[in-house]
Structure 1
Amino acid sequence: MTVRIATVQAEATPGDIAANLSSAATWIERAAERGADVVVFPEAFTTGYDESAFAGSLPSADDPAWLAPVQRAVDGTGVVAILNTALDRVDRRTLTDVIVVPREPPVMAYDKQHLYDSERAVFAAGEGGFSFVVNDLRLALSVCYDANFPEHAAAAAAAGADVYVNSGAYFPGGSHRRDVHYAARALDNGMYVVFSGLTGGSHDFIGGSAVFDPLGRRVTGVAAATPGDTPATSTPPEGLAIADLDAAVVAAAREHQRMWADRRDDLGVPRTIGTVASGASVDA
């Protein structure tokens, strides 16, 4: 079986939830025109990734009426949307992936587990992973900084994931780290990695939306900022990248690249003999 997935690269307007949801609906319709089964949005696309927006009124987990524009687009097209938002959960605030499914209640599915720097002052970290199945492929969710930790993607693969989906927002200067991390998570675990990145906005986000195959190769993407991407030279364009994800490709990669099958869960207790002095002489 295959899943046609669309990853969005777009700018969100900080604090303008209505405008951002209207934009999300338009992207869903564009993805549907290209035959997508699933569309992935960048981190905090609903609110914009912005400190003042995070401190203000946020969409509510208890009353999903705010999702109506996206729900209508999903119902009308049949596309499943993975929409990331800053979310008010009454007792805490989270950065959450919401799964919007045609003609079904939305699922407040996954809260970002690894909070980055200033996020810790505002948000609570999630407590567990989340995955779901589309066309026999299991998609696991992650948000931006989560992908910096190899064990996060490995836990998803151990739970049966074929695809590791990440919604992110990378600052200028982060392009090398971004691309290496997503390629490595794909190769390490023999699974697809789908990244959706913010562009522009108050922090000059650098985009980089792309799909990596289970061997870590970038198979499609939207134009992004160049390496050494200093702010204000040019904003990476908005766009949509489409890829067909194939369960057979995952199986073949895991058969050829044996790291997943051969890895050991228990590496024993590390041994040490303390300091070893070199015999080389050092001139004063």
Structure 2
Amino acid sequence: MTALTIAAAQSVSIAGNLPANIERHLVFMRAAAKQGVQLLVFPELSLTGYEPSLAAGLAIEPGDRVLKPLREMAQELRLTAVVGMPIRLAPGLGVLIGALVLGGDGSLAIYTKQHLHPGEEVAFVPGQGGSALEWGDDRIALAVCADFSHASHPRRAAEAGATIYAAGVLISEGGYATDSTLLQGYAAEHGLLVLMANHGGPSGGYVCAGRSAIWAADGGLVAAASGVGDSLMIARREGGQWAGQVVAV
């Protein structure tokens, strides 16, 4: 297998403050590039915080110029970043929970959350998912939070040839034990490297757990944050083996 370096960005979002959150994402992207990261995944709705009551006013179309600094940085660094944002695919349509793939080659791809958490239907509509990222010998399937709580989601990804399952999430202290056990189990069950990027601070009234993590295809832990705060969980594959590193940001 080819060499690959991927990372989960455990970031702290400021509620509704898109300019400040963009600046913080740029800091993460630069820090990741210094570590040789090729693919960087941020938490669910990382650019706005998990704020359903604000989502309608903050939602953008995927190609909006507000993302220009992030897209230009991705190209400059040759780094692909997956960022969380409420989106509309056209004016007047419902708001989707989006994961926007800002390619290091200037490309833009979209993943939309398929499975809403109970209560989210007040502010959002279900999405259609998105294509796996083709990356050398790898296929990287994306997920946003509640998607992974449906066992069919990672199973279908694996059946379609995914080798990596990358989820941007918001997981609270109360839900962490259950959700992390699920994700670790999927790694072992389906032979996937599983990445979980969680919020590093409070968002949407939730006390987020942090503790973002990456698990190898046997379920073994590759890298994990010890708690909350801003950090990068990095997984490097060389010679078919994964090695982990945690870097404060």
TM-score (norm 1): 0.79
Is the contact made by 1:81 and 1:99 (CA closer than 8 Å) also made in structure 2?
yes
Is the contact made by 1:142 and 1:165 (CA closer than 8 Å) also made in structure 2?
yes
Query: What is the CA distance between 1:104 and its match in structure 2?
Result: 1.9
- Cα distance in 1, alignment partners of residues 55 and 217 from structure 2: 35
Correspondence 1:65-104 to 2 at 5 A: 65-89=65-89, 90=91, 91-104=93-106
Is the contact made by 1:14 and 1:201 (CA closer than 8 Å) also made in structure 2?
no
Query: What is the CA distance between 1:84 and its match in structure 2?
Result: 1.6
Query: What is the CA distance between 1:215 and its match in structure 2?
Result: 0.8
Query: What is the CA distance between 1:128 and its match in structure 2?
Result: 4.1
Is the contact made by 1:192 and 1:245 (CA closer than 8 Å) also made in structure 2?
no
- Cα distance in 2, alignment partners of residues 105 and 188 from structure 1: 32
Partner of residue 159, structure 2: 158
Q: Partner amino acid for 2:11?
A: A
Is the contact made by 1:2 and 1:137 (CA closer than 8 Å) also made in structure 2?
no
Query: What is the CA distance between 1:129 and its match in structure 2?
Result: 4.3
Partner of residue 118, structure 1: 119
Query: What is the CA distance between 1:47 and its match in structure 2?
Result: 1.1
Secondary structure of 1:117 counterpart = coil
Query: What is the CA distance between 1:135 and its match in structure 2?
Result: 2.8
Query: What is the CA distance between 1:248 and its match in structure 2?
Result: 4.2
- Whether 2:236 is the aligned partner of 1:244: answer yes
Partner of residue 19, structure 1: 20
- Cα distance in 2, alignment partners of residues 162 and 79 from structure 1: 20
Q: Partner amino acid for 2:144?
A: V
Q: Partner amino acid for 1:237?
A: G
Query: What is the CA distance between 1:130 and its match in structure 2?
Result: 2.2
Correspondence 1:174-185 to 2 at 5 A: 174-185=175-186
Partner of residue 140, structure 1: 141
Partner of residue 209, structure 1: 212
Name the CA shift for 1:133/1:103 in 2 (closer, same or farther; >3 Å): closer
Task: Tell me the alpha carbon deviations over residues 62-116 of structure 1, each in whole angstroms, 9 at most, x when there is no partner.
Answer: x421111211211111111111211122311111111111242422x21111100
Name the CA shift for 1:181/1:43 in 2 (closer, same or farther; >3 Å): same
Is the contact made by 1:147 and 1:185 (CA closer than 8 Å) also made in structure 2?
no
Is the contact made by 1:112 and 1:126 (CA closer than 8 Å) also made in structure 2?
yes
Is the contact made by 1:170 and 1:205 (CA closer than 8 Å) also made in structure 2?
yes
Name the CA shift for 1:247/1:119 in 2 (closer, same or farther; >3 Å): farther
Partner of residue 43, structure 1: 44
Number of equivalences: 237
Query: What is the CA distance between 1:28 and its match in structure 2?
Result: 0.6
Partner of residue 265, structure 1: none
Query: How big is the alpha-carbon RMSD for the aligned residues of Structure 1 and Structure 2?
Result: 1.7
Indicate the structure whose relative CO is greater, using CA pairs within 8 Å and at least 6 residues apart: 2
Query: What is the CA distance between 1:58 and its match in structure 2?
Result: 1.6
- Cα distance in 1, alignment partners of residues 221 and 15 from structure 2: 30
Secondary structure of 2:143 counterpart = strand
Secondary structure of 2:29 counterpart = helix
Partner of residue 261, structure 1: none
TM-score (norm 2): 0.90
- Cα distance in 1, alignment partners of residues 22 and 106 from structure 2: 18
Q: Partner amino acid for 2:211?
A: G
Partner of residue 223, structure 2: 220
Is the contact made by 1:137 and 1:247 (CA closer than 8 Å) also made in structure 2?
no
Partner of residue 228, structure 1: none
Name the CA shift for 1:245/1:96 in 2 (closer, same or farther; >3 Å): farther
Partner of residue 54, structure 1: 55
Q: Which of structures 1 and 2 has the bigger CA Rg?
A: 1
- Cα distance in 2, alignment partners of residues 123 and 93 from structure 1: 5
Query: What is the CA distance between 1:53 and its match in structure 2?
Result: 2.1
- Cα distance in 1, alignment partners of residues 130 and 70 from structure 2: 24
Q: Partner amino acid for 1:240?
A: L
Name the CA shift for 1:200/1:9 in 2 (closer, same or farther; >3 Å): same
Partner of residue 197, structure 1: 198
Ranges in structure 1 where 5+ consecutive residues have no aligned partner: 225-235, 251-284
% identity of equivalent residues: 26
